[in-house]
Amino acid sequence: MPIYMLVKVSPFSTLRLGIRQFIVPPYVWNSSQAYFLSTLHTMTVSRLSFIISFILSITSIYGQKLYIPALTLEREDFHQDPERAVSASETFFFDQTLDHFSYTPQSYATFKQRYFIDCKFWGGANSSAPIFVYLGAESELDGAPTYIGFLRDNAAQFQALLVYIEHRYYGQSIPLGMSFEEALENADIRGYFSSAQALADYVAIIMHVKRERNAIKSPVIVVGGSYGGMLASWLRLKYPHVALGALASSAPVLYFEDMTPQDEYYSVVAKDFKETSETCHQDIANSWSEIDRFANESDGLSNLSKIFNTCRPLDSGATLKSFLKAMYTTAAQQDNPPTYPVRQICRGVDEATTTENGILGKISAGVVAYYWNSTCYVNPLLPVTPSGWSWQKCSEMVMPLGITKNSMFPPAPFVLDDFTEYCRCKYGVVPRPHWVTTHYGGHDIELILRRFGSNIIFSNGRRDPWSGAGVRENISESIIAVITDQGSHCVDIYPESQDPRYPDPDWLVKQRKTEVEIIKGWIDQYYADLRASK
């Protein structure tokens, strides 16, 4: 199994995880197992079969470290796997407007925004066949045609044109020919880095594609997962004349202001572990004080390093605790069939045979069970890779995730004043915690969208920690909540299993079928309205 490897970095900075060569059956990717990683020194590009990256952030406020879970569903370089990569997509670059909302001379500047088109299944020009558009989120676009399987798996039956659009400031879509670092360091240029600008980008490209392909009457369905799922729902609400409908997978649209308790994410993580094994859950809860006790002893850090077989000597107990929090939350977020990583961790904890190191020996066994076949754990030396999500959190995506009263984790509450001070020091800006709900809504969502909105699927799995901030009940006949008890983060939009030995579970097959039937109903109604208009 993989290992997420944390490095001691500056407050709120983002780091890239390492990757290793390993052998794993194809069903793992078909079932959206986005957690296979390893150490860099064993990786060779020529022999690499499966690569995945996951972005972690470590915050340090007044000496307290807190692992901040990532929204991303990124599977970087998944497309390089020759067994699974989709190569039918063509790459295009659109001359995108820098600023859609003002008319200063600089706002008319353009930059190259990347998008992919797959026309293998398309019904053709003037056919009014639908267009499925994937909205890229906080990562580069490269692997999307492969790991966002929902579009391709359903394109044939709809004769759909597939379009994948990269989010500005990610991947190769950096304004004004700058590097990412240059764009983020420039106070003027990074001001154009917002979700509203991104939505306008998507709309501009969608309309360009429709005109270029003679597909003006083709209905558009936008699809996104996680942050991209939020964008999909917001695009439908803001631009209903462009998108007929939206599939918003695992979109935590209610994790702003006071709409969702800040501890909701970590509460679901704790619930997942407790439902899997109460003894495992309790051992994890008891381990934090043991780590502190060891760390405060004269040889404590050295002993902890030995118990957990760290890649380098630990510099603090906080580094180990951050690593474990990352492991538990990632396992819960990606608790996908058929491997179910939470079950793997708890099996390791519960079946630990050594009693030499007490609870910490059990916790270490859980690490090994999850990250099998690794030479060391916790803290190898890795390069830091920049991420725009740090800026987005400081500007508008102020999601107050914290740990308050939790059965498995020690308290680490989100404090807005502390976060504000960080953002002021880092970027010279003050976060706007009320802007998302002001611009997109969220409060009284059932009352407001019952009449105002339409044609949105909010899909969530209850084992996904982000699900607590999702829409989990139907709002109207066309704003539908599709919920599964066993579902994890965005699992419905990943590829269907093609391996008969490891078929998707019935609940996942049913979830996808339900979503397709809803979308088909939207498109059929659109065609009926189109015929009536003629």
Catalytically annotated residues? 226, 464, 489
Angle at 445 between CA 444 and CA 451, to 5 degrees: 110
The sign of the dihedral angle between the CA atoms of 142, 487, 390, 57 is negative
On whether the CB atoms of residues 195 and 397 are closer than 8 A, the answer is yes
Strand segments, DSSP code E, in 282-404 are: none
On whether the CB atoms of residues 469 and 445 are closer than 8 A, the answer is no
Structure token pair of residue 29: 């990717």
In our burial notation (b when 16+ CB lie closer than 10 A, e otherwise), range 350-359 reads: bebeeeebeb
- Of the candidates 506, 499, 446, the residue with the CA atom closest to the CA atom of residue 473: 446
- Of the candidates 230, 159, 226, 198, the residue with the CA atom closest to the CA atom of residue 464: 226
**Interatomic CA distance for residues 450 and 470, integer angstroms:** 16
In our burial notation (b when 16+ CB lie closer than 10 A, e otherwise), range 225-243 reads: bbbbbbbbbbbbbebeebb
Number of residues in the chain:
534
- Of the candidates 294, 267, 296, 275, the residue with the CA atom closest to the CA atom of residue 364: 294
On whether the CB atoms of residues 519 and 245 are closer than 8 A, the answer is yes
Structure letter (DSSP) for residue 139: S
On whether the CB atoms of residues 95 and 68 are closer than 8 A, the answer is no
Which amino acid is located at 304 in the chain? L
- Of the candidates 256, 255, 237, 254, the residue with the CA atom closest to the CA atom of residue 245: 237
**Interatomic CA distance for residues 258 and 417, integer angstroms:** 15
Which amino acid is located at 360 in the chain? L
Kindly report the number of other CB atoms within 10 A of residue 323's CB atom: 24
Kindly report the number of other CB atoms within 10 A of residue 212's CB atom: 11
Angle at 301 between CA 295 and CA 304, to 5 degrees: 95
- Of the candidates 13, 1, 12, 4, the residue with the CA atom closest to the CA atom of residue 54: 4
| Chain centroid, CA 532 distance in Å | 41
Sheet holding 64-68, edge to edge: 14-16, 55-61, 64-68
Widest Cα–Cα separation across the chain: 83
Q: What is the DSSP string of 249-286?
A: ET--TT-STTSS-TTHHHHHHHHHHHHH-HHHHHHHHH
